[in-house]
Chains A and B, each alone.
Chain A
């Protein structure tokens, strides 16, 4: 290994270490900036500015209706609780990350509240604070889903990612991007189609698919056909979705592809794949 390192290599390494140093400086810079003790007046001004900004942004305000609301230092169950907001006090909801809400209480203390606790808070008019939860109901009815997976495309290995937007609970439009790696050719595919979920409320639900797209075929160097080519493709498919837990589900598909080649005959290919996906 050491033999292979030439002077150019060591120069490159030096370049990299310089880059790492810049990164480290950046990191420590943010730390130093935080560490320097700021004047109280400045802090107050900042707080006032933050309050103003909050009012401008019209953050949703909720009221604690349970005896107290716990605030943790981070959005995870391992982070310690450092503050509690009492009953009847309000918190501004800044944003949400996974199942945690970043909130600010009346005194300007910011922390992370668990979604399960936030469900028990009330809006100013006394109505419950409603938001989507990652559960079975969400699996039935949601807006977006994304997934990644792999499978087989006419004998080639397939790597796949997709995103879908729900028009209704049953009908979705989806975009699939994939790469396949075979013995005779490699290539990429981009497809758009519609997806019909037959029984969205079932834990295991069959799906039907129909779509079209383009496929870029790159024959491997040893094969006679040297030129890359782009062809249109269309597919029909069947599959199933299986709800796992929280926001996750599995999706398995079987698709029949027809590739409209520039040759006399169209090419027909079969594809199957398994993907892990989530909805939000």
Chain B
């Protein structure tokens, strides 16, 4: 019985030996180069390490990249002068001279300030009534300014002849301001529209109309007056 047990154990050991060595037996025909190369590489690394500094995981001396912001010339301001006609309600149409400055915020919107002066004519009452003068010379001066928000729309090009195309565009204006007329200041609301042509990128020619609306009681009754200004102006961008 004991010898039978020993036999069984021996058989098991032999089987186990055969099984475990089996993998190696089956792969014996294949070369065992990878093991060799790994050993070689390790040897090479050791050789390298021996004559150089110890390996560094992170190089701490990284140059910090400076982000440069190149100086770019901004040309969002537009300044200019113009001349035209101002139709002052009840006081006829007179010449007017005006200055304007704009700041272009986006390609669509801009702020604009206008300052102008005109001289009122005579009312028909004064003309027909002989020597009657409603206003003195100084009071006839019609000085106005306005602060407006403008909106560009319908951008396009105008063509002069075959070779020349100029950028153009329409704009609308809405704003508030003040007018000094007949010895008094009045709050005005201004609404306007204009057309702008740019012969070059820095020069613009404007044709614009603005209605300057204010309350007036000059002729007895309090009423809303519409004073329409037509202006031809030249502006430069800077």
Interface residue ranges, A against B (CB under 8 Å): 1, 3-6, 9, 12-13, 15-16, 19-20, 23, 26-27, 30-31, 34-35, 60, 73-79, 93-102, 123, 127-131, 134, 146, 148, 150, 157, 159, 161, 179, 181, 186, 218, 220-221, 246-248, 276, 278, 280
Contact = CB atoms under 8 A, between A and B. Distances in A.
A195 to B, nearest CB: 19
Contacts of A95: 72-75
Given A30-B199, A148-B175, A23 B107 contact: no
Nearest to B71: A60
Given A101-B72, A218-B185, 13 more contacts: A3-B124, A4-B124, A5-B93, A12-B94, A13-B95, A23-B232, A30-B200, A31-B160, A76-B169, A94-B73, A95-B73, A127-B67, A130-B69
10 contacts: A9-B93, A26-B234, A75-B107, A76-B169, A78-B154, A95-B75, A130-B67, A131-B69, A157-B187, A218-B185
Contacts of A74: 155, 157, 167, 198
B70 A93 contact: yes
A23 B124 CA distance: 32
B169 to A, nearest CB: 7
Contact of B127 (A4, A76, A78, A248): A4
Given A97-B75, A221-B184, A1 B201 contact: no
Contact of B147 (A4, A6, A99, A159): A159
Contacts, number: 167
Interface residues of B, number: 68
A123 to B, nearest CB: 7
A100 B72 contact: no
A77 B68 CA distance: 28
Given A73-B167, A76-B169, A60 B70 contact: yes
B140 interface: no
B106 A99 contact: yes
Contacts of B66: 127
Contact of A186 (B91, B185, B198): B185
A20 B232 contact: yes
Nearest to B95: A16
Nearest to B167: A74
A158 B106 CA distance: 27
Interface string B67-85: 1111111111000000111
B155 A76 contact: yes
B76 to A, nearest CB: 6
Contacts of A179: 178, 185
A93 B72 contact: yes
Interface string B160-197: 11011101010000011110000111110000000000
Given A20-B232, A95-B74, A161-B113, A4 B121 contact: yes
Interface of B: 65-76, 83-85, 91-95, 103-107, 109, 111, 113, 121-124, 126-128, 147-149, 152, 154-157, 160-161, 163-165, 167, 169, 175-178, 183-187, 198-201, 203, 205, 232, 234, 237
Contacts of B95: 12-13, 15-16, 19
Nearest to B91: A4
Contacts of B106: 98-99, 134, 246-247
Nearest to B73: A95
Nearest to A94: B73
